[in-house]
Amino acid sequence: MIGSILTLTATSGIGFSVARSYRDRPKQIALLAQGLRLLRQEVEFAQVPLPLALSHVADLLPKPVNLLFRQMATNLEEQKNAGEAIDEAIVSFEKKLAMQKEDYEPLRTLGAVVATAHRTHLARELDTALIRLQSLEEIAETDRRKNEKVWQYLGVLVGVMIVIMMS
Amino acid sequence: MNAGNSSEKVVDCLNVLRILCPPPLYQLFCQIPETVLQQLEEVRFRQHAPLQLCLAQEDCFLNERGKVVKDWREGLVVSEDWLQRMVQSATQSSLYAMEEDIKRGFLTLPGGHRLGIAGRAVLSETGSLRSIRNITSLALRIAKSHIGASRVLAPYISISKHRVPSLLLISPPQCGKTTLLRDLARACSQGEYQLPAQKVVVVDERSELAGIVEGMRTFDLGPRTDVLDGCPKAEGMMLAIRSLSPQVLVTDEIGRMEDGQAILEAAYAGVTVFATAHAASLEEWRMRPSMRPLFEQQAFSRYAVISRRRGPGTLEAVYDANGKTLIVPR
């Protein structure tokens, strides 16, 4: 009886965990895009230096995506160059967030140009990144609709099947 | 010129190099003897060229073991990667936020140190300079505070108990004008050297005179001094006259037509002006079209010509408002 409960709990947990990552991914991409829109405002209107601009964005975003921006700002303050600061922040957060490798690509591309771009150029790069994030969000949303419920049920059903087979 | 605290200067100098340079390069600077660092006035970083150190009396090069050498062939060659990293450090990876500074050809680093920039000019549709890209040279000028430097000028301007005459410091670049001007502002604000204590407003367009970093002054400008930081000279002077009731206005490196007009406004408003200008002599300066009206209308009562013949800040000559020589120091 205890074994059955443990099995059912474990498989359901796995199912819900995978379902949650499908559910969180589009939300986090949307938050990343919101962060870049805020960064665009800082660049265009306030002309605040990048470390401070990223800190301001981190202050305005909810968890956990704000932590990514905070880490980028910290890395820049430690005198890493912009590309390194963004790459290292992504590496330290990609396992903690639901976004997939390709979702960070617009941010990485931005990291390669942000330090040397002039205001108008950087605004264009931010717009391009936002368009790419929008399409990634749509893909993530389609995946969520297809897979979220499936994984929730699958976890429970596999657990039930194992319990039936064991009994 | 009296030197300030030598060890403080060395610390300040290394501090700006730490901010600017990649760690391996900074480590080489740390190996330079203190006596050399105390004399360091400029560091020139040129892409694929040896790293040049300009000292008070000579120039030399830094080699790859951190030794100071005379022969440029032994100098450490600055790589493109290092130079780009330095640009990123100086701009905080935010070229977009520094566009106006870059357009003027320099950035001001924490501590009031000036970083000159050379590279490919980007022009606007009207042909004016819009920016500089592909930066290939950086010239770091170490700002230094010399408390007491302006004592040498005091006898020529302490002529009244209530007011000091307007003074223009004239010299070619790197002769110590800004250092003298900074100390003159401080002395006037404190009422030192028998000068009457005055309300001083410093219009610090390039953040070099006060060296303001995050609201804090790096250099002592005295207790009666207000600073308009980062403000264009001409606009700043007009703003100060309107709103800050200065007795003395201080500004660095005048040269444009609008600077001249603002100084005339100040002169006719009864405000004393201390300023600096680039020229080797009074004659050279007054031939400049934008400056000629200032001389003709006697906006300045004193002109002091500075050189580095016996080190930065050597007073060569003092003239009155008509250009008559008051003194030719030896």
Is the pLDDT at B303 greater than 60? The verdict is: yes
Q: In DSSP terms, which residues pair with B117 in a beta bridge?
A: B138
Q: Which residues lie closer than 8 Å to B20 by C-beta, 6 or more apart? A: B86, B89, B90, B109, B115, B140
Query: Would you call B88 and A82 a contact, using CB atoms and an 8 Å cutoff?
Result: yes
CA distances from B95 to A145, A151, B85 (A): 42, 47, 12
pLDDT average, residue stretch A80-88: 88
What's the CATH code, domain B149-327? 3.40.50.300
Pinpoint the residues of chain B covered by CATH 3.40.50.300. Answer: 149-327
Query: What's the pLDDT tens digit per position in A61-80?
Result: 998 899 999 999 999 888 77
> Of 3.30.450, 3.10.590, 3.30.420, 1.20.1070, which CATH number belongs to B6-141?
3.30.450
pLDDT (0 to 100) of residue B196? 86
Among B47, B117, B15, B86, residue whose Cα is nearest residue A81: B86
pLDDT average, residue stretch B199-204: 92
Q: Does B35 touch chain A (CB under 8 A)?
A: no
B88, B96, B131 member nearest A81 (Cβ): B88
> Residue B121: how many CB atoms within 10 A of its CB?
13
Is the pLDDT at A109 greater than 70? The verdict is: yes
B85, B92, B95 member nearest A117 (Cβ): B95
A47, A48, A81 member nearest B93 (Cβ): A81
> Residues of chain B with pLDDT > 70: what percent?
96
pLDDT (0 to 100) of residue B5? 61
Domain count, chain A: 1
Query: Would you call B95 and A53 a contact, using CB atoms and an 8 Å cutoff?
Result: no
Q: Does B324 touch chain A (CB under 8 A)?
A: no
The answer for A 93-112 residues in CB contact with B (under 8 A) is none
pLDDT average, residue stretch B265-288: 89
Q: How confident is the model at residue B329 (pLDDT cuts 50, 70, 90)?
A: low
Query: What's the pLDDT tens digit per position in B58-80?
Result: 889 999 898 999 999 999 999 98
Q: How confident is the model at residue B330 (pLDDT cuts 50, 70, 90)?
A: low
pLDDT (0 to 100) of residue B211? 80
Q: Domain limits at A11?
A: 2-166
Pinpoint the residues of chain B covered by CATH 3.30.450. Answer: 6-141
Query: Would you call B94 and A79 a contact, using CB atoms and an 8 Å cutoff?
Result: no
* Pairs of CB atoms within 8 A across A/B: 52
Best B21, B25, B83, B88 residue to mutate vs chain A (most A CBs within 10 Å):
B88
Q: Does A82 touch chain B (CB under 8 A)?
A: yes
Query: Would you call A118 and B85 a contact, using CB atoms and an 8 Å cutoff?
Result: no
Which residues from A are below 8 Å from B92, CB to CB? 49-51, 76
How far does A139 lie from chain B, in Å, by closest CA? 32
> Residue B290: how many CB atoms within 10 A of its CB?
15
Q: Which of B18-32, B87-101, B203-217 has the lowest mean pLDDT?
A: B203-217
